[in-house]
C-alpha cells in the first residue's frame, strides 16, 4: 500500500497567486504609474488601505534638499507593492497607522492635519527612549547560600550581652578550657563545641580567652555564618580555608576523650588516645567526605549526621550507643583486627599481612589493587607498599558492609582497572579467574564465567548493556553479592549456600535498622569478650604455663566490662614506644 502523501502548507502559495493577479490588473498598473509620477513631481499622494475606509497621507516637500529623503520614502512606498510576497494592504511599513475614516480636507483640498506623520514619528521616538522594564530573569531572588540562609532579624547584640555576662563570672573575665562549657551554652552551641570555640579565639596559644577577643571572634562568626555547619567549619578550619582537614579535628576529639564520662577508662591510657582519635577521624571522613577529597565542606557536613551526633555526646553517657562515629567497642574491634595482622607491630601492614585477613578470604588480585593506590591515601606508605592503620579502618568497614555508598565506591575503584568509570567484561573476568582457581583447589566445580556473567547482569540490571557503572551498583540492593562473587571466596560460598529466594527478599525488603557493620562489630566484640573471659580462667589455673609475651599482649588488649575498666595502665607494646609514632602519618 503506497504511503500517504505528506501535507504541504499552501497558504503562502495562495497569497502569492492573489497578489500576482492583483498586480497584473490594468487598473493596478495605471495607479502605480500615477503614484510614480506624483512622487517625482513632489505632489501629495493619497493611498487607500485596501477597503476604502482607511486612508493615509504622505506629504512630500518640493524642497531640493529633501530629494534624497523623498526618494527613500518613494522606495519604501513602492517596494511592498513590487514584492510578490508582501500583502497589498500594507503599502508602507514605515508609515504609522492613522485614525479610522477618511482624513479631514479643507476647502482648498489640502488636509487639515498636515504634520500627523511627523508627529507620530516623534511619538515613536519618545517611546523608543523610554526605559525598558528589566526582564523577569534579572529579578530572580538569591537561592545559593554557601554559609547558610541568613535569618530575618538576627538578635546578635542580645546574644553578645549574654556571653559578656558569662565571662564576668570568671577571674579577670578570662575563660580557660574548663570554663568553655558555660561559654558554649551562652553561645547556644552544643557542649562539645567548647574546644573549637576556645581554639578559634586563640586560647590554644595563650591558655585562656579574654572576653574582648572571644566577643570579636564570635560576632564575626555570626555575621558571616548562618547555620551550624558553616559555624563548625569556620571554627575548626585553618585561616582562609572553607573546609576541614583531618588534623583540624584532633583538638576537638582530644577534648572528647579528656572530658566525656563514657571514656574515663581510656583517659588513663594515654598511649591509646591517638589510636582512638585516628579511628574516629577515619569514620567521620568515611561517612561525611562523600567527595573523597580529604576535605569536609559545609555542604557535606549539612548532608551528614555528624553534628547531630556531636550534640548527642552531651546527653549520652555511653559512647557505644553512638555507633556511627564515637563507639569505643567499634574502635576496639578495628584495632584488635589490625593488631592481629601487624606481625612486627610497627603499625603498618603489607600485602602478605592483609592477605591473612579472615583466613585468606580476599583474592590476591584484589589485595594488589588495594595496595595500588586506588583507595589508600598515604603517599609515603603507598611508595613503600604498606598500609597504615588509618587506611585499614576504611578497608575493614568496607569489607564487612558492602551496601553503603562509600563501600560501593571503595570496591568499584578497586575493580575499575583502567579507571574509565565502567566495569567491563574483561575486568570482571580478570577477578573471576582467581575465584575459579581457588574453587577448584577446594574441589568445588566453579560456574563458567559466561553463566556467572549472566547472573550478575541480571542482578545489577545495568542501564547500558555490557557495561556496569557505579550508578548501576548503587541502585542495586544486592551489591554485596556482586562484589563477593569476584573477590571474597568465603562470603561467596556463604551466599551460594543460602536460599536464593530469601536473598532476594532481603534485598527487596525495607531499609534495615542495624547495618552489616554494626552486626559484625557486635559479634566480634562479644567473641573477644568471651575469649578474654576464657583466658582469665586459664590464667588463674595455669599461670606458670603461660608464655610471658602472650600474658603481656592479653593484658594490653583487655576489654572494658561492667566489673572493671578496659585499660589498667597497659605496658608498651613489645619494645615499641607509641610516643615515637608520628601521629601525622595517618593523615598524609
Domain parsing of the chain, residue ranges: 147-226, 241-325, 328-498
Q: Does domain 241-325 have CATH number 1.10.1060.10?
A: no
- Across-strand partners of 388? 348
Question: What average pLDDT does this structure show over 193-203?
Answer: 96
pLDDT, one tens digit per residue, over 55-104 is 444 444 444 444 444 444 444 444 443 444 444 444 443 434 344 444 44
Percent of the chain, pLDDT > 90? 55
Q: How far apart are CA 335 and CA 402, in angstroms?
A: 20
Residue 358: predicted pLDDT: 93
> 423 or 550: whose pLDDT is higher?
423
- Coil, helix or strand for 567? coil
Using an 8 Å Cβ cutoff, are 320 and 311 in contact?
A: no
Instruction: Give the residue from 199, 165, 171 showing the smallest Cα distance to 183.
Output: 165
Contacts of 365 (CB under 8 A, 6+ apart): 430, 431, 434, 487
Contacts of 123 (CB under 8 A, 6+ apart): none
Phi and psi torsions of 106, nearest 5°: -75, 180
Pick from 32-41, 398-407, 531-540, 547-556: least confident: 547-556
Residue 165: predicted pLDDT: 95
Top-level class of domain 147-226? mainly alpha
Residue 215: predicted pLDDT: 96
Cell of 488: 571474597
pLDDT of 315 > 90? The answer is yes
pLDDT of 390 > 90? The answer is yes
DSSP 302: H
Pick from 78-82, 313-317, 489-493, 518-522: least confident: 78-82
Contacts of 555 (CB under 8 A, 6+ apart): 568, 570, 571
> Band of the pLDDT at 137, cuts 50, 70, 90?
low
Q: How far apart are CA 55 and CA 77, in angstroms?
A: 14
> 580 or 259: whose pLDDT is higher?
259
Q: How far apart are CA 243 and CA 510, in angstroms?
A: 35
Question: What average pLDDT does this structure show over 301-325?
Answer: 95
Residue 244: predicted pLDDT: 97
Contacts of 508 (CB under 8 A, 6+ apart): 477
Residue 200: predicted pLDDT: 95
Pick from 39-53, 100-114, 229-243, 453-467: least confident: 100-114
Residue 255 neighbours by CB distance under 10 Å: 19
> Band of the pLDDT at 588, cuts 50, 70, 90?
very low
Using an 8 Å Cβ cutoff, are 61 and 92 in contact?
A: no
Question: What average pLDDT does this structure show over 32-39?
Answer: 87
Phi and psi torsions of 209, nearest 5°: -130, 125
> Band of the pLDDT at 456, cuts 50, 70, 90?
very high
pLDDT, one tens digit per residue, over 215-226 is 999 999 999 999
Shared fold status for 147-226 and 241-325: yes
Using an 8 Å Cβ cutoff, are 428 and 453 in contact?
A: yes
Residue 141: predicted pLDDT: 83
C-alpha triplet 273, 274, 275: angle, nearest 5°: 90
> 407 or 581: whose pLDDT is higher?
407
Rounded to a whole number, what is the distance in angstroms from the first to the last CA of the chain? 74
Using an 8 Å Cβ cutoff, are 88 and 19 in contact?
A: yes
Residue 565: predicted pLDDT: 37
Burial profile 278-311: b = 16 or more Cβ within 10 angstroms, e = fewer: bbbbbbbbbbbbbeeeebbbbebbeebebbebbb
Residue 66: predicted pLDDT: 44
- Coil, helix or strand for 460? helix
pLDDT of 241 > 70? The answer is yes
> Band of the pLDDT at 500, cuts 50, 70, 90?
low
Q: How far apart are CA 520 and CA 400, in angstroms?
A: 7
Q: Please, what is the average pLDDT of the chain?
A: 79
> 239 or 561: whose pLDDT is higher?
239
Cell of 571: 605496658
User: What kind of fold does domain 328-498 have according to CATH?
Assistant: Recoverin; domain 1 (1.10.238)
Question: What average pLDDT does this structure show over 12-30?
Answer: 85
Using an 8 Å Cβ cutoff, are 285 and 246 in contact?
A: yes
pLDDT of 568 > 80? The answer is no
pLDDT of 570 > 50? The answer is no
> 531 or 108: whose pLDDT is higher?
531
Residue 107: predicted pLDDT: 47
pLDDT, one tens digit per residue, over 281-308 is 999 999 999 999 999 999 999 999 999 9
pLDDT of 278 > 70? The answer is yes
Residue 47: predicted pLDDT: 57
pLDDT of 150 > 90? The answer is no
> Band of the pLDDT at 348, cuts 50, 70, 90?
very high
Block residue for cell numbers 497584473 = 24
> 6 or 400: whose pLDDT is higher?
400
Residue 475 neighbours by CB distance under 10 Å: 13
pLDDT, one tens digit per residue, over 479-491 is 999 999 999 999 9
In 372-446, the DSSP E strands lie at 387-388, 422-423
Q: How far apart are CA 572 and CA 580, in angstroms?
A: 12
pLDDT of 129 > 90? The answer is no
Cell of 330: 567499634
- Coil, helix or strand for 482? helix
Q: How far apart are CA 336 and CA 346, in angstroms?
A: 14
**Residues across the chain:** 588
| pTM of the full structure | 0.70
Contacts of 149 (CB under 8 A, 6+ apart): 226, 227
> Band of the pLDDT at 180, cuts 50, 70, 90?
very high
Number of C-alpha atoms within 13 angstroms, CB side, residue 476? Answer: 22
Which phi-psi region, left, alpha or beta, contains residue 398 (left: φ > 0; alpha: ψ -120 to 50)? Answer: alpha
Amino acid at each position: 500500500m503506497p504511503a500517504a502523501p505528506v501535507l504541504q502548507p499552501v497558504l503562502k502559495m495562495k497569497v502569492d497567486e492573489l497578489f500576482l493577479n492583483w498586480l497584473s490588473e490594468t487598473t493596478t498598473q495605471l495607479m502605480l504609474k500615477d503614484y510614480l509620477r506624483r512622487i517625482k513631481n513632489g505632489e501629495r499622494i493619497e493611498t487607500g488601505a485596501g477597503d476604502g475606509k482607511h486612508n493615509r497621507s504622505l506629504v512630500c516637500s518640493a524642497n531640493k534638499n529633501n530629494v534624497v529623503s523623498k526618494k527613500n520614502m518613494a522606495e519604501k512606498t513602492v517596494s511592498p507593492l513590487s514584492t510578490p510576497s508582501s500583502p497589498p494592504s500594507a503599502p508602507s511599513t514605515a508609515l504609522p497607522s492613522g485614525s479610522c475614516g477618511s482624513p479631514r480636507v479643507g476647502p482648498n483640498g489640502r488636509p487639515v492635519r498636515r504634520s500627523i506623520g511627523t508627529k507620530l514619528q516623534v511619538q515613536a521616538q519618545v517611546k523608543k527612549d523610554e526605559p525598558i522594564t528589566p526582564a523577569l530573569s534579572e529579578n530572580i531572588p538569591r537561592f545559593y547560600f554557601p554559609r547558610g540562609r541568613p535569618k530575618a532579624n538576627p538578635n546578635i547584640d542580645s546574644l553578645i550581652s549574654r556571653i559578656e555576662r558569662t565571662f564576668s563570672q570568671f577571674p579577670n573575665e578570662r575563660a580557660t578550657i574548663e570554663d568553655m562549657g558555660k561559654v558554649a551554652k551562652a553561645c547556644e552551641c552544643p557542649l562539645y563545641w567548647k574546644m573549637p570555640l576556645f581554639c578559634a579565639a586563640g586560647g590554644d596559644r595563650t591558655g585562656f580567652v579574654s572576653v574582648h577577643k572571644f566577643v570579636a571572634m564570635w560576632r564575626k562568626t555570626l555575621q558571616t555564618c548562618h547555620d551550624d555547619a558553616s559555624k563548625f567549619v569556620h571554627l575548626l578550619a585553618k585561616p582562609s580555608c572553607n573546609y576541614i582537614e583531618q588534623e583540624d579535628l584532633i583538638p576537638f576529639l582530644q577534648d572528647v576523650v579528656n572530658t566525656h564520662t563514657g571514656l574515663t577508662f581510656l583517659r588513663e591510657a594515654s598511649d591509646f588516645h591517638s589510636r582512638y582519635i585516628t579511628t574516629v577521624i577515619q569514620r567521620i571522613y568515611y561517612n561525611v567526605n562523600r567527595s573523597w577529597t580529604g576535605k569536609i565542606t559545609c555542604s557535606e557536613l549539612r548532608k551528614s549526621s555528624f553534628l547531630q551526633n556531636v550534640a548527642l555526646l552531651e546527653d549520652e553517657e555511653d559512647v557505644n550507643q553512638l555507633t556511627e562515629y564515637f563507639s569505643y567497642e567499634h574502635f576496639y574491634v578495628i584495632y584488635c583486627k589490625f593488631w592481629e595482622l601487624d606481625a612486627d607491630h610497627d603499625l603498618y601492614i603489607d600485602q602478605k599481612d592483609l592477605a591473612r585477613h579472615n583466613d585468606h578470604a580476599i583474592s590476591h588480585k584484589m589485595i594488589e589493587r588495594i595496595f595500588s593506590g586506588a583507595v589508600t591515601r598515604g603517599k609515603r606508605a603507598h611508595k613503600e607498599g604498606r598500609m597504615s592503620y588509618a587506611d585499614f579502618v576504611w578497608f575493614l568497614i568496607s569489607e564487612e558492609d558492602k551496601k553503603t555508598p562509600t563501600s560501593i565506591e571503595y570496591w568499584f575503584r578497586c575493580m575499575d582497572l583502567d579507571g574509565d568509570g565502567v566495569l567491563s567484561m574483561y575486568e570482571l573476568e580478570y577477578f573471576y579467574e582467581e575465584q575459579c582457581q581457588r574453587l577448584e583447589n577446594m574441589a568445588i566445580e566453579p560456574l563458567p564465567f559466561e553463566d556467572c556473567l549472566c547472573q550478575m547482569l541480571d542482578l545489577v540490571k545495568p542501564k547500558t548493556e555490557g557495561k556496569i557503572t557505579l550508578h548501576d551498583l548503587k541502585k542495586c540492593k544486592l551489591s554485596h553479592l556482586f562484589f563477593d562473587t569476584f573477590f571474597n571466596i568465603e562470603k561467596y560460598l556463604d551466599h551460594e549456600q543460602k536460599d536464593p529466594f530469601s536473598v532476594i527478599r532481603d534485598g527487596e525488603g525495607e531499609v534495615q535498622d542495624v547495618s552489616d557493620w554494626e552486626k559484625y562489630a557486635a559479634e566480634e566484640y562479644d567473641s573477644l569478650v568471651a575469649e578474654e573471659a576464657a583466658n582469665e580462667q586459664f590464667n588463674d589455673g595455669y599461670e606458670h604455663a603461660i608464655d610471658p609475651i602472650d600474658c603481656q599482649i592479653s593484658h594490653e588488649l583487655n576489654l572494658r566490662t561492667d566489673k572493671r575498666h578496659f585499660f589498667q595502665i597497659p605496658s608498651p607494646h613489645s619494645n615499641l614506644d607509641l610516643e615515637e609514632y608520628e601521629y601525622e602519618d595517618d593523615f598524609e
